[in-house]
Each structure stands twice: as structure tokens, then as C-alpha cells.
Amino acid sequence: MRRSRLVIALVLFLAGVIWLGQGSGIIKGSAMSGSSFWSVAGVVLVVAAIAVLVLERRRPATGS
């Protein structure tokens, strides 16, 4: 697996979890708190992170 894609997946996942927490009201103190838009955006980012990981694991291994 390429390290850069793993880092991208990790950043997407963390941002998604934070946005999901803010949108659902678990994390308070922001204009994003309690907004369903940010909940949906968080779920989309988490799914995108999982997709990057799955696609990266399916790639054939290279020589180095």
C-alpha cells in the first residue's frame, strides 16, 4: 500500500468523524453543531476513507 494514500484515508476518516460528531451535536461549541448537513458530510467522508482503503488493498503489489 502506498503510504500517501493511507495518510489521505486517515485524514478523510478523522475529518469525517469530527464533522459527524459536530453535526449530530456530540461535539458542541461550533456553528456546525447540531446541523444535519455536517452529519451527512461526515458520513460521506468516512465512506470515502473506507473506499480509499479498500481500493488500495485491491491494487496489485509493486516491486518496491
Task: Please give the model's pTM, rounded to 2 decimal places.
Answer: 0.81
Sequence ranges of the domains in the chain: 3-58
Residues of the chain above pLDDT 90, percent:
55
Q: Which three cell numbers stand for residue 31?
A: 456553528
| pLDDT tens-place string over residues 27-62 | 888 888 888 999 999 999 999 999 999 998 887 766
Confidence of residue 3 (pLDDT cuts 50, 70, 90): confident
Residue type, 50: I
What is 3-61 written as a DSSP string? HHHHHHHHHHHHHHHHHHHHHTTSS-SSTTTT-HHHHHHHHHHHHHHHHHHHHHHHSPP
